[in-house]
Amino acid sequence: MTDQTKTVSPEADKDVSPEAGKDRVVIFDTTLRDGEQSPGATMTHEEKLEIAGLLDDMGVDIIEAGFPIASEGDFRAVSEIAKRAKQATICGLARAHIKDIDRAWEAVKHAASPRIHTFIGTSPLHRAIPNLTQDEMAERIHETVTHARNLCDDVQWSPMDATRTEWDYLRRVVEIAIKAGATTINIPDTVGYTAPVESADLIRRLIADVPGADEVVFATHCHNDLGLATANALAAVAGGARQIECTINGLGERAGNTALEEVVMALKVRGDIMPFYTQVDSRKIMNISRRVATVSGFPVQYNKAIVGKNAFAHESGIHQDGMLKNAETFEIMRPADVGLAETSIVLGKHSGRAALRAKLKDLGYELAENQLNDMFVRFKELADRKKEVYDEDLIALMRAGEDEATDRLVIKSLRVVCGTGGPAEAELVMVIDGTEKSVTGTGDGPVDATFKAVRELHPNDAHLSLYQVHAVTEGTDAQATVSVRLEEEGNIATGQSADTDTVVASAKAYVNALNRLLVRRGRLGEDKREISYKDVS
């Protein structure tokens, strides 16, 4: 008889995957909820759906899609995101009120994997707001978490301002929430007050001291008021937390939240001392970072970790010399790890559609043929004015063309006369709801004259609260990106545009913001915010 016994090398039985021997950390993204609470960062319905799709596609585990009871618009967005989600759990936020929880459930119940997240402020400062005693608040926590669990199998509970809550009371209410059915306990550092050593110790003590803690997932939600959000989140993981709440680009109220890209890449790069992993496809980080910056109107600072323009740029001669010899001398991660192309295709006026398509694909844009044709025309127009077209130029062109098809206000032509001899003049032609109109405006400078011309053609009471200009690339032929923020009757809208002519970019950004205000104005009554929720978790 032939011996068919199979000899297997001991090495063959080893799991050699990058996750071998590591604990998984769940990524909970709250860009669409906490991120949108940043003043001026409000997104349209379509933009929320787009960002949610990108988050789902990149492997985010849980998407907190909004605060359903805040407005009809938020409810519709959460509900639609829940219906469209392919793999992520979709979560809705609710205060510790039965009506909030019911509304959240109505929105997320369409998801294949729904979650209700309910919270209440437990620190002395926050208990004073509803004027509840410790016992009264404990009773409400039990009632609302129980109600949420009766609706949904996946319930997250947060003691807002947990890091400033008395230890004995925090331990008590966490135990109550667990017994009431919470499956995830989130510990928010709501005002960015704690330090890493405290963050780790707090999670560690809760897991050790609270009955039932070993049966739930502990999460961390950190704010960046002292610049410690990422450090505190990672310290909490070291202490036993297995869910990090974060946002793209660290977007969020005040100084922002823990940045998703920072914690994901920190765990990826420093797996030697942090034996954890996430399911996020880091190669898609740069694309979603740019898109969130665009729709929120919050540009990413140049020296921002991971996604900033200078994160992989080297100007120092010593650094450049080291990079040419071995990239690892000054880069601890590869640009490709976060979705940046490692090779550069230089584009100019002689470049064709194939090169443009390839470059756009590298930048994360997959265009249909008609979209490519439109982009190619705008690219050629820019290339005729510039010697070289950089990645940032292409991104600016993509942004400029995204909303034009549905805009009610469109600039057709602009001619400006300015100098030292007198007031500036702006000859403006606009198409307003399909009708072409023209006017000549005057002002203290070309931008002032242009904005006054726009207001004459489209009267409005919007207050200009921000006007910001920065160069997209270097050189006198660089495109200028202009950001404009307008406020009108409680609505805030941010517009952006880029052009080699700063005045043209300014006019387009101003009109872009006006178009956004028109969209929001049209939704008043059905999409008006009903409650204030700027200070939640």
| Separation between Cα atoms, residue 88 and residue 52, nearest integer Å | 9
Lowest mean pLDDT among 48-52, 86-90, 123-127, 519-523: 519-523
**The two three-digit tokens of residue 6, written as one number:** 């199979």
Helices 391-402, 369-383: inter-axial angle, 10-degree rounding: 120
pLDDT tens figures, 506-534 = 998 899 889 888 876 664 444 444 444 43
Q: How confident is the model at residue 499 (pLDDT cuts 50, 70, 90)?
A: confident
Which distant-in-sequence residues (6+ apart) come within 8 Å of 45 by Cβ?
A: 73, 76, 77, 80
Using only the alpha carbons of the chain, give its radius of gyration. Answer: 26
411 in the same domain as 398: no
Question: What confidence score (pLDDT) does residue 43 get?
Answer: 83
CATH number of the domain enclosing 59: 3.20.20.70
On whether residue 327 sits in a domain, the answer given is: no
Which single residue is written with the structure tokens 């020296």? 303
265 in the same domain as 175: yes
427 in the same domain as 395: no
pLDDT tens figures, 332-378 = 777 778 887 654 455 777 778 887 888 788 777 888 888 888 888 88
CA neighbor of 232 nearest in space, from 284, 183, 192, 176:
192
On whether residue 69 sits in a domain, the answer given is: yes
CA neighbor of 91 nearest in space, from 131, 150, 148:
148
Question: What confidence score (pLDDT) does residue 371 get?
Answer: 84
Q: How confident is the model at residue 320 (pLDDT cuts 50, 70, 90)?
A: very low
65 in the same domain as 212: yes
On whether residue 338 sits in a domain, the answer given is: no
On whether residue 178 sits in a domain, the answer given is: yes
Query: Which DSSP letter does residue 387 get?
Result: S
88 in the same domain as 147: yes
Question: What confidence score (pLDDT) does residue 338 get?
Answer: 82
266 in the same domain as 196: yes
| Separation between Cα atoms, residue 182 and residue 175, nearest integer Å | 10
187 in the same domain as 268: yes
227 in the same domain as 99: yes
On whether residue 239 sits in a domain, the answer given is: yes
138 in the same domain as 271: yes
Contact predicate 246/299, CB 8 Å? no
Q: How confident is the model at residue 110 (pLDDT cuts 50, 70, 90)?
A: very high
Mean local confidence (pLDDT), 142-149: 98
263 in the same domain as 209: yes
| Separation between Cα atoms, residue 71 and residue 162, nearest integer Å | 27
Query: Coil, strand, or helix at residue 351?
Result: coil
On whether residue 12 sits in a domain, the answer given is: no
Q: Specify the higher pLDDT residue, 241 or 396.
A: 241
282 in the same domain as 214: yes
Q: Report the number of distinct structural domains present in the chain.
A: 3
Residues at the binding site are 34, 221, 223, 257
What residue numbers bound the domain in which 279 lies? 23-296
pTM of the shown model: 0.73
**The two three-digit tokens of residue 186, written as one number:** 């989130």
How many other CB atoms are found less than 10 A from the CB of residue 345?
12
Residues at the binding site for Mn(2+) are 34, 221, 223, 257
Mean local confidence (pLDDT), 489-495: 80
480 in the same domain as 372: no
CATH number of the domain enclosing 501: 3.30.160.270
- Residue 415's H or E segment, with its range, is strand 409-417
